Chains A and B, each alone.
Chain A
Amino acid sequence: MLLLLALPLALTFYLSVRSCALQMEVVTVTESSPFGTKEVVTQRAVLGPDGRALSVCRFVGLEYFRKVLGLDADVAIQAGSSAPPDAGGSPAAASPQRSTEFIGALRFTLLYTFATTPFVLLLGFALALGVNQVGQRWRPMYISASLLPFIITPVVGALAIKWLFRDNGLMPYFLSQFGISLFWMAQAWSARLLIIFYGIWHVVPFAFIVFYAGLQSVPQDSLEAARIDGANAWQRLHYVTLPHLAPLFVFVTLIHLMDAYRVFEPVVVLTQGAFTTSVQYLTYYILLQENNPYKASAAAVLTTAGIAVLLVPLLMRTWKEQRRGG
């Protein structure tokens, strides 16, 4: 396990400060034909003794970090202007605007994380309270139905939402009955809203299940005692149930922060990176579209730093509480 996880992580750090390129040589090729002889100067890759192309690797320091962070603004612009101007619709056309790639990706990732968390906690808790009130025989039905969005393949879930909100789809039609007409995928804010909506839809069931299980373990005699002492429903909730569930709120928040930080599939599916990128999407895009593992590594290292900054205070707090409690 250590070999397969720690080694790649270390390798990522190593790769992020290096760059490899095929070693090229300038050759003069003499072409002879019935129409005369001409010399063409061209470049070709140097082949090693085993017949493979040789590549030169060198230490580039923080160059890729600077690129990913958008600090080398002039380089980014150069790269943009050298792209063919008629490449409309191809991924290359979108890349010039990504000069401040990582910051933008991080900003949306954090927005997503902090926009979804309160909804996930509140809705999950409300649902748990609700299901806890209904009769025993209805509960499995509600739980089963709620589990579906959670265990669905994220790509499929995001696609289903996309088709629902697509032009001529069900939701635009439904909303147009109320006078709202909107092309959901066409603007940045509505596409982002859809991603956040997807996130809430996807994670609420998890919070719901955890809180529901927690509600089962609330000591009944404490509730009984509170009722006898004249507490109303709200007071019982506030003074007995909520303190009992407090650790679960921390737990759900922690897990959701980890998961939200790696939001990826809805970004791929709903916007294809046109308006929004998330940090995970950025690495994936650089690796597969720009085909540059070294730059992707730089993005990956920044991603790691980001999650560390986000989680360390929380983990420290939990750790301290655990020690005090134990």
Chain B
Amino acid sequence: MKRPSRIWSLLLHLVLLGWVLLACLPFVWTAVISLRQYVDAFSVPIKWLAPVTFENYSRLWIDKAFYRNFLNTAIVTFSTVTVSLSVGCLAGYALSRYRGAVGFWLLLTALVFRSLPHSTLLPSFYVMFDALGIRNEFFTLILVLVAINQPFTIWMLRSFFVNIPQELDEAALVDGCNRFQAFRRVIIPVMWPGVVTTGLFSFLLAYNDFLLSSSLVNAERMTMPAAIANAISAGSEAFLMQGVAGAVSITIPLIILVLFFQRQIVSGLTQGAVKG
């Protein structure tokens, strides 16, 4: 292939760098102002340099007990990922090995629920859990997140399982495994990258959820995004700055995630697409 000319290539890099700047600017600027006092963060004219302070963070994490929201998020996301992967692996495996019309209809149902806005289920969750008296529980939130996540997880894991040749199962069975051992000892190790990718996306769904965790549980059990939403209407300046610090705190784990798992995220995004 002919190498593109130098000027063309330089121009290309400039355009792409422009995009990168646009993509990252909101974070970078939020991170910058999170280290400032309010008067320095929002001022006319803009201050490019200002005294650095960690006051916003200490207020938020220690005085406002943001660590509790962090723990809530950790509990909720970890449980959601674990449960939905366990169920999803079994269901996805079964669906990929099962040839029949029911499998197709199950997948179609999964797709339909994938397209439903979550809020359509919210009123009935609300009423149902109220009637059962279990609304303000971690358990309930996790259950709902798993349920909402499940169509997607099963869909994705199935497409990974389908790529594993049936002969592998048969070899394991011939060697004296039963069905479950074949699944546990032969298929899952081969599947591991697919499981990691799917797990990443379940993690993102649970971690990023705002609608459900802000409406199904009360303040002391809220996850970080729901807690930070209080900064939306922030009347006071100190409160607003704590919101800024909180936003940065939520984003840092995600940035680490991108740096470590870029390849898996990309493969997950393209999984459904390229396979058609």
Nearest CB of chain B from residue A284's CB, rounded to whole Å: 6
Q: Are B250 and A307 in contact (CB under 8 A)?
A: no
Q: Does A265 sit within 8 A of B, measured CB to CB?
A: yes
* Alpha-carbon distance between A205 and B22 when the two chains are bound, in angstroms: 12
A258 to B118 alpha-carbon distance, docked (Å): 11
Assess the B262–A251 pair: CB atoms within 8 A: no
In B207-245, the 8 Å CB interface with A consists of: 207-208, 210-211, 215, 224-225, 228-229, 231-233, 243-244
Partner of A272, one of B12, B123, B204, B233: B233
CA–CA, A287 and B12, complex, Å: 49
Q: Would you call A152 an interface residue if the criterion is a C-beta within 8 Å of the partner chain's C-beta atoms?
A: yes
Q: Which of A15, A173, A280, A303 contacts B127 (CB 8 A)?
A: A15
Within 8 A of B (CB), among A149-169: 149, 151-157, 159-161, 163-164, 166-169
- By size class, the interface of chain B is 35 or more
Q: Which of A3-11, A25-33, A71-79, A111-119 contacts B (4 or more CB under 8 A)?
A: A3-11
B132 contacts which chain A residues (CB < 8 A)?
A: none
Prevailing SS type, chain B contact patch: helix
Contact B33 A148 (CB under 8 A): no
CB atoms of B258 and A300 under 8 A apart: no
User: Does residue B188 face the partner (Cβ distance < 8 Å to A)?
Assistant: no
- Contacts A8-B124, A247-B276, A284-B122; A148 near B229 (Cβ below 8 A): no
Show the binding face of A for B, using Cβ within 8 Å: 1-2, 4-5, 7-9, 11-12, 15, 127, 130-131, 133-134, 138, 140-149, 151-157, 159-161, 163-164, 166-170, 173-174, 201, 205-206, 209-210, 213-214, 217, 247-248, 251-252, 258, 261-262, 264-265, 268-269, 272, 279-280, 283-284, 287-288, 293-294, 296-297, 300-301, 303-304, 307, 311
In the A-B complex, the 3 residue pairs with the closest CB atoms: A4-B147, A160-B26, A11-B124
Which residues of B are at the interface with A, using a C-beta cutoff of 8 A? 4, 9, 12-13, 15-16, 19-20, 22-27, 29-30, 33, 42-46, 87, 91, 109, 113-128, 143-144, 146-148, 150-151, 154, 204, 207-208, 210-211, 215, 224-225, 228-229, 231-233, 243-244, 247, 250-251, 254-255, 257-259, 262, 265-266, 269-270, 272-274, 276
